[in-house]
Chain A
Amino acid sequence: QQQVKQSPQSLIVQKGGISIINCAYENTAFDYFPWYQQFPGKGPALLIAIRPDVSEKKEGRFTISFNKSAKQFSLHIMDSQPGDSATYFCAASSAGGGADGLTFGKGTHLIIQP
């Protein structure tokens, strides 16, 4: 059972454009929603994260929008640059149970064309 669904699988955006990646979750116990960026040969790196008590969080060119009622959240990359070309993963976790295990989406391969 896939608890976090991510779309699209791949995305091509022109330099300077806006990249948008969407995720939907099923488990209402999730209370932490991070986005990770992964380059080839590297581990995932935390980009930005949000908790369900806010609807939007912005850090530089990266913005998370969160819709609790729809159980959806999205990543917007403004003024996309070729250096943003990477695989992006949304994830979610719940605080209960002691462990902080993350449930990841399947990833979006983003290409920014110069």
Chain B
Amino acid sequence: ETGVTQSPTHLIKTRGQQVTLRCSSQSGHNTVSWYQQALGQGPQFIFQYYREEENGRGNFPPRFSGLQFPNYSSELNVNALELDDSALYLCASGKQGARETQYFGPGTRLLVL
């Protein structure tokens, strides 16, 4: 088991609503990345935070936003939810510049109706 935790484990929302997902990083890690994993697909990189700023982003629209806090915990916010946002959202913490240290949490399963 990694030291990365995520909450909640499952969530159901309605199209158009907003959602906030939370991640607690492993001790000693200073980066946090978020990924979206649709059913039967590989994870897709949403963005990464380092020193409380976004320092890289995948091909996701601005309605996907995030925060990293001084204790390295993180939030993923998604506005104006769409049906296609239904997926497993994974958080990964790591050390900047040491890619082999990225550890994933168990994920939050989001269902948009």
Contact = CB atoms under 8 A, between A and B. Distances in A.
A104 B44 contact: yes
Contacts of B100: 32, 34, 46, 49
Interface in A21-76: 32, 34, 36, 41-46, 49
Please classify how large the interface on chain A is, using the bins under 10, 10 to 19, 20 to 34, 35 or more. 20 to 34
A105 B94 contact: no
B42 interface: yes
Given A43-B4, A43-B107, A99-B56, A107 B41 contact: yes
B41 A102 contact: no
A45 B42 CA distance: 13
Contacts of A42: 106
Interface string A74-114: 00000000000000010101010111111111110000000
Contacts of A102: 33, 35, 43, 45, 99, 102
B105 interface: yes
A43 B2 CA distance: 9
Nearest to B53: A98
Interface in B72-113: 90, 92, 94, 96-97, 99-100, 102-107
A101 B104 CA distance: 13
B8 to A, nearest CB: 14
Interface of B: 2, 4, 31, 33, 35, 40-45, 47-48, 50, 55-58, 90, 92, 94, 96-97, 99-100, 102-107
Interface of A: 4, 6, 32, 34, 36, 41-46, 49, 89, 91, 93, 95, 97-107
